[in-house]
């Protein structure tokens, strides 16, 4: 008797080893988002607690399943390809929706969110934010009958942001509360905002910088010949902003206002700094304030949060909003800078 091997039916394609949809798990999408945010596989691996080779292997598995390249690795930084940009944009929306559903389910039981993400702009005092975190974790039965002595069940997550990046995280659902947003949020659906206060700036340079001895007011033709220190906008999908840069001017880009201060103290460039941050260094002779055509600069900051009829604020977010309603808290957030370097 002769046996013939079974052949697959022509009308039924052979199963693929990895279905595209099956590869796009929430963990995989968070991993891709981390790479895009850092622009580096190595930094993303550190954030996720993985070795770089394992992270690279997982990304290749996803790319093989989708049959497309998600990151351009030819440059120094890992940059999303056009297909990667589309995937990241849609995945951030889906992750935001998934997190919202998860939080809503958990709030039904206790009223406390499982996690609360705060986007904190670099213009905001980190020491004040951390003091608020201490007070939040110290909440107990005397503050809410559903709590025990271990404090709220809500996990806090802080995200460092700048300029449009602060607004963006709330707009796309990646943050529940943004503190220090600079730009108008009135056109965003389901986003509410309240004024945080105003921040005044001065144009300052180190005493050994060439502009320290320049005639005032320093005209644009002279400013353009000197490097500006600017804080990078952390936005990924919204348009990025660079404030104070003149056409053709060299720029040294840093990631935070504290890094900008240190760069200017070292004479690496010039630029505007918040008065409350710069003044102690001006008084100590480490910075010199100079007059420029646009010397008077002030920014109105807000705090904003997502609030819809389907997902009203939970207890943790309500607590933070109550703190921000206090004038003393808002003042401390904009004035209590750690000036030690």
Q: Taking the model in full, what pTM does it have?
A: 0.65
Please determine whether the domains at 111-196+302-335 and 198-300 fall in the same fold group of CATH: yes
Which pLDDT does position 2 carry in this prediction?
A: 45
Q: 160: helix, coil or strand?
A: strand
Q: 52: helix, coil or strand?
A: helix
Rounded Cα distance, 51 and 48, in Å: 9
Rounded Cα distance, 233 and 163, in Å: 5
Which pLDDT does position 149 carry in this prediction?
A: 80
Contacts of 194 (CB under 8 A, 6+ apart): 302, 303, 304, 324, 325
Which pLDDT does position 273 carry in this prediction?
A: 93
Residue 187 reports pLDDT greater than 70 = no
Q: What is the mean pLDDT of residues 72-95?
A: 88
Rounded Cα distance, 38 and 34, in Å: 6
Residue 94 reports pLDDT greater than 70 = yes
Residue 295 reports pLDDT greater than 90 = no
Distances in Å between the alpha carbon of 107 and those of 116, 122, 154? 12, 31, 10
Structure tokens at 84: 């990667």
The mean pLDDT value of the chain amounts to 84
- The more confidently predicted of residues 138 and 153 is 138
Across 19-33, 48-62, 93-107, the highest mean pLDDT is recorded for 48-62
Residue 184 reports pLDDT greater than 50 = yes
Q: Cβ(161)–Cβ(119) under 8 Å?
A: yes
> What class has domain 198-300?
alpha beta
- The more confidently predicted of residues 174 and 309 is 174
Query: For residue 247, what pLDDT band results from cuts at 50, 70 and 90?
Result: confident
Q: What is the mean pLDDT of residues 203-220?
A: 93
Structure tokens at 258: 């504290």
Q: How many CB atoms lie within 10 A of CB 74?
A: 7
Which pLDDT does position 244 carry in this prediction?
A: 66
Rounded Cα distance, 38 and 45, in Å: 10
Which pLDDT does position 128 carry in this prediction?
A: 95
The CATH number of 15-110 is which of 1.10.10.10, 3.50.50.60, 1.20.200.10, 3.40.50.40?
A: 1.10.10.10
User: Of how many residues is the chain composed?
Assistant: 341
Which residue ranges make up each domain of the chain? 15-110, 111-196+302-335, 198-300
Superfamily name and number for 111-196+302-335: Periplasmic binding protein-like II (3.40.190.10)
Buried b (16+ CB within 10 A) or exposed e, 114-136: bebbbbbbbbbbbebbeebeeeb
Q: Cβ(319)–Cβ(136) under 8 Å?
A: yes
Beta strand 288-289 with 191-205: parallel, antiparallel or unpaired? antiparallel
């Amino acid at each position: 008797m002769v046996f013939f091997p079974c052949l697959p039916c022509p009308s039924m394609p052979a199963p693929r080893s990895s279905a595209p949809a099956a590869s796009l798990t929430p963990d995989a999408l968070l991993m891709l988002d981390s790479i895009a945010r850092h622009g580096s596989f190595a930094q993303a691996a550190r954030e996720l607690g993985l070795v770089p080779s394992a992270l690279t292997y997982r990304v290749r598995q996803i790319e093989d399943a989708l049959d497309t390249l998600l990151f351009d690795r030819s440059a120094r930084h890992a940059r999303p390809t056009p297909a990667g940009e589309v995937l990241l944009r849609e995945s951030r929306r889906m992750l935001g929706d998934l997190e919202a559903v998860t939080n809503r389910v958990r709030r039904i039981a206790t009223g406390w969110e499982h996690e609360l993400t705060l986007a904190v702009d670099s213009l905001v005092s980190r020491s004040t934010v951390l003091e608020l975190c201490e007070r939040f974790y110290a909440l107990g039965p005397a503050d809410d009958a559903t709590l025990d002595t271990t404090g709220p069940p809500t996990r806090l997550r802080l995200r460092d942001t700048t300029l449009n990046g602060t607004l963006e995280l709330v707009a796309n659902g990646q943050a529940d509360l943004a503190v220090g947003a600079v730009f108008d949020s009135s056109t965003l659906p389901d986003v509410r905002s309240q004024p945080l206060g105003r921040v005044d700036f001065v144009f300052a340079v180190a005493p050994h910088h060439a502009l320290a001895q320049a005639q005032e007011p320093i005209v644009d033709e002279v400013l353009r010949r000197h490097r500006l220190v600017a804080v990078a906008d952390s936005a990924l999908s919204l348009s990025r902003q660079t404030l104070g840069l003149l056409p053709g001017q060299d720029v040294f880009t840093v990631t935070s206002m504290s890094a900008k201060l240190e760069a200017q103290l070292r004479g690496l460039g010039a630029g505007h700094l918040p008065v409350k941050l710069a003044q102690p260094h001006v008084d100590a002779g480490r910075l010199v304030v100079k007059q420029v055509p646009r010397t008077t600069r002030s920014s109105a900051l807000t705090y904003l949060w997502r609030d819809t009829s389907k997902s009203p604020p939970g207890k943790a977010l309500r607590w933070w909003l109550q703190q921000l309603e206090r004038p003393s808290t808002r003042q401390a957030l904009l004035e209590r800078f750690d000036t030690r370097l």
